[in-house]
């Protein structure tokens, strides 16, 4: 055999076939899923349907293998002999025997692997499969309790699947209830532990109040917090399953879970003691969330800030009173001059000591013991730090509440100082002071544009549309123009305030602005400034013809005097701003040009009539022009 292998360096065809068959069986064994592998599941419904289809195909394949096959007419194949059965066969027979043995062993391995895979799949089908378990987030926490499911369905009908924690006032109201339960625990647990409030008569009442507060905690944890929407990657997640999963994965869930652990079971061993409820004070985050949401929804936030700061002061004094009474019991009530003497209300006497000690408003007797000295020194140190912090906090709150008024006073003082330096007449100074006072009283600020510039364009547009769009749509000159052009014009409006008797515009001046009356009234007067032609009130528009192109004969000059009748708040649109807008709206520019020519022609006719001695009131000319313009618009719309 060695000589034959040396003479024939290439492998025989039978050996090549055996190697190919072994490689094929090896690849088949690699394609089979290992028992420890977990398939990647994208959709549980599709995964279950595919598993069922695969199972049906395998059952069909097994049933076809069990069916009797038709007899073949080909000659029978001689079985391959193993090498150990016929040791004296030649080389080709030995190779054939090796091929048969390898093929049979490979088939056995493949069949065993297939059985293991089938058994694993059947177990996954019965248990739900690892893919199904990892396919999606866990079901809602409250859904695991069958008794609570009817209540959860009622809450779904009332609250909806999810809640917006920033704008939904129902959530703010619920946070107020949770804050009350938290305040009950954080104020009364130290007091009950220090002043021994538990008696045989009061114990049932305390137990009922504790049970009510714990019920609020549990309801918030099971039904409210899993409904809160959250933002992920810029998208607002409103799916109930994902909101529940987000809450269960957060640190807040762990804190809330620790806050409701039933350490009260230790009552059975040690008796009714409120110290075992100390974990209920871990819901501090609910209080701060309620405070932030309340500030964002209040118009005068400084009121809540002052109340909250005073609450911090009272709570620190309350804790110090509890510690002082505990120290007095440790030293012995009435044993020295420093401790509580046992007369009167224990809580009020202890609270009075806390006020004197922390706020340092009166002298206290010196302790006689080392423990008393250490306690009093620590009290003085904490009181100094807390008092400075409290005063700084109150200063910040008051400064924020009066920041706008301080800015107004500073601006007015600077203006008065400037006028005094330059020796401005007293009449002008009085009018300047009047303008400052009226502007502050009517707007609450000196310049509205400073506030609006801080907002994004979308919000500025919404505010401008709500205030002036309806007025713009009533102007005959702008009828038929594009709506977006009107919105762009609204963003260019500038607020201005006129005092009583101020000239808004004078006859003969070149008009470059259009005016919209926001509040107050103006009067159109004759040449003597005493004859009132017409009075325009809030919502009226005048000066719109001045926005058109200049006429060669000065047709865009003012034709009358306009005087403010009382205080007048106006919006002004400049001609340059309108031209910048019309560049982007050619169709609207054509409409304005056509209507402008008609208005200018009407003014020319009115001027010629006056030159010939014909008395043609301006109001009649304008009314005829409006009728002609409206008729032209109706014809264009009909066409």
Cα–Cα distance measured from residue 178 to residue 183, given in angstroms and rounded to the nearest whole number: 9
Tens digit of each residue's pLDDT (9 = 90 or more) over 576-585: 888 888 888 8
Tens digit of each residue's pLDDT (9 = 90 or more) over 486-503: 888 888 888 888 888 888
Alpha carbon of residue 450 to chain centroid: 25
Backbone angles phi and psi of 635, in degrees to 5: -65, -40
The length of the chain is 639
Contact status, residue 362 vs residue 398, Cβ threshold 8 Å? no
Alpha carbon of residue 286 to chain centroid: 17
Instruction: Tell me yes or no: is domain 451-608 CATH 2.60.40.10.
Output: no
pLDDT at 616: 39
**What is the C-alpha end-to-end distance of the chain, expressed in Å?**
107
Burial label for 476, CB within 10 Å (0-12, 13-18, 19+), is middle
Burial label for 42, CB within 10 Å (0-12, 13-18, 19+), is exposed
pLDDT at 615: 38
Q: Over 60: is that where the pLDDT of 98 sits?
A: no
Q: Is 61 helix (H, G, I), strand (E, B) or coil?
A: helix
Tens digit of each residue's pLDDT (9 = 90 or more) over 154-189: 888 888 888 999 889 999 999 999 999 999 999 999
pLDDT at 66: 52
Cα–Cα distance measured from residue 94 to residue 303, given in angstroms and rounded to the nearest whole number: 101
Q: Within a 10 A sphere around the Cβ of 240, how many other Cβ atoms?
A: 18
pLDDT at 619: 38
Q: Over 50: is that where the pLDDT of 532 sits?
A: yes
Contact status, residue 305 vs residue 397, Cβ threshold 8 Å? yes
493 against 328, higher pLDDT: 328
Global pTM reads: 0.60
The most confident of the ranges 77-86, 136-145, 551-560 is: 551-560
HSE of 120 in the Cβ direction (CA atoms, 13 Å)?
16
DSSP letter (8 states) at residue 444:
S
pLDDT at 606: 59
Spatial neighbors of 358 by CB under 8 A, at least 6 apart, are 316, 317, 320, 379, 382, 383, 386, 387
Tens digit of each residue's pLDDT (9 = 90 or more) over 390-414: 888 888 888 888 887 888 888 888 9
The percent of residues above 70 in pLDDT, for the chain, comes to: 71
- CA neighbor of 547 nearest in space, from 516, 519, 568: 516
Contact status, residue 45 vs residue 135, Cβ threshold 8 Å? no
pLDDT at 105: 56
Pairing of strands 532-537, 235-237: unpaired
> In 183-233, where do the E strands start and end?
230-232
Tens digit of each residue's pLDDT (9 = 90 or more) over 602-637: 766 655 554 444 433 443 333 333 333 334 444 333
Cα–Cα distance measured from residue 384 to residue 391, given in angstroms and rounded to the nearest whole number: 11
Strand partners, 565: 521
| pLDDT, the chain, mean | 76
The most confident of the ranges 95-104, 253-262, 355-364, 591-600 is: 253-262
């Amino acid at each position: 055999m060695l000589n034959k292998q040396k003479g024939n360096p290439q492998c025989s065809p039978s050996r090549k076939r055996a190697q190919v068959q072994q490689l094929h069986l090896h690849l088949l064994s690699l394609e089979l899923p290992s028992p420890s592998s977990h398939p990647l599941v994208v959709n549980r419904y599709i995964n279950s349907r595919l598993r069922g289809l695969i199972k049906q195909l395998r059952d069909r394949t097994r049933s076809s293998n069990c069916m009797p096959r038709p007899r073949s007419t080909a000659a029978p194949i001689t079985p391959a002999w193993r090498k150990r059965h016929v040791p004296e066969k030649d080389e080709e027979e030995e190779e054939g025997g090796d091929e048969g043995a390898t093929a049979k062993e490979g088939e056995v391995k493949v069949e065993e692997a297939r059985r293991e895979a089938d058994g694993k799949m059947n177990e996954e089908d019965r248990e739900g499969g690892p893919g199904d378990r990892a396919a999606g987030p866990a079901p809602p926490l409250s859904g695991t309790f069958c008794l609570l499911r009817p209540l959860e369905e009622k809450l779904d009908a009332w609250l909806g699947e999810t809640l917006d924690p920033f704008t939904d006032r129902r959530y703010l109201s619920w946070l107020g209830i949770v804050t009350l339960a938290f305040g009950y625990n954080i104020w009364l647990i130290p007091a009950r532990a220090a002043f021994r409030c538990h008696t045989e008569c009061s114990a049932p009442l305390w137990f009922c109040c504790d049970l009510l507060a714990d019920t609020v905690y549990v309801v918030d944890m099971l039904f409210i917090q899993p409904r809160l929407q959250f933002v992920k990657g810029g998208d607002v997640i409103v799916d109930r399953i994902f909101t529940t999963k987000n809450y269960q994965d957060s640190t807040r869930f762990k804190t809330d879970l620790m806050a409701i652990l039933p350490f009260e079971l230790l009552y059975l061993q040690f008796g009714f003691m409120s110290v075992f409820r100390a974990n209920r004070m871990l819901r501090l985050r609910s209080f701060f969330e309620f405070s932030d949401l309340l500030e964002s929804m209040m118009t005068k936030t400084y009121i809540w800030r002052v109340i909250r700061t005073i609450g911090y002061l009272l709570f620190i004094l309350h804790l110090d009173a509890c510690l002082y009474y505990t120290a007095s019991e440790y030293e012995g009530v009435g044993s020295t001059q420093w401790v509580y003497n046992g007369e009167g209300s224990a809580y009020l006497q202890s609270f009075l000591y806390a006020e004197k000690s922390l706020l340092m408003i009166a002298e206290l007797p010196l302790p006689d013991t080392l423990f008393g000295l250490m306690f009093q020194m620590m009290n003085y140190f904490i009181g100094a730090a807390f008092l400075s912090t409290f005063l700084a906090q109150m200063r910040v709150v008051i400064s924020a509440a009066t920041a706008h008024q301080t800015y107004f006073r500073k601006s007015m003082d600077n203006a008065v100082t400037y006028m005094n330096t330059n020796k401005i007449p007293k009449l002008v100074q009085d009018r300047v002071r009047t303008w400052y006072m009226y502007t502050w009283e009517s707007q609450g600020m000196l310049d509205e544009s400073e506030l609006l510039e801080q907002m994004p364009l979308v919000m500025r547009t919404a505010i401008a549309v709500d205030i002036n769009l309806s007025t713009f749509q009533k102007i005959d000159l702008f009828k038929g123009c594009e709506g977006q052009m009107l919105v762009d014009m609204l963003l260019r409006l500038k607020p201005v305030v006129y005092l009583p008797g101020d000239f808004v515009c004078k006859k003969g001046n070149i008009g470059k602005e259009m005016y919209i009356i926001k509040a107050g009234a103006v009067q159109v007067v004759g040449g003597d400034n005493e004859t009132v032609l017409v009075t325009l009130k809030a919502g009226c528009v005048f000066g719109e013809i001045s926005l058109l192109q200049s006429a060669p004969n000065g047709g865009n000059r003012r034709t009358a005097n306009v005087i403010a009748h009382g205080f007048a708040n106006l919006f002004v649109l400049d001609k340059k701003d309108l031209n910048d807008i019309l560049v982007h709206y050619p169709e609207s520019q054509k409409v304005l040009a056509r209507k402008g020519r008609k208005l200018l022609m009407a003014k020319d006719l009115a001027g010629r009539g006056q030159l010939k001695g014909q008395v043609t009131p301006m109001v009649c000319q304008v009314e005829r022009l409006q009728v002609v313009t409206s008729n032209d618009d109706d014809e264009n719309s009909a066409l």
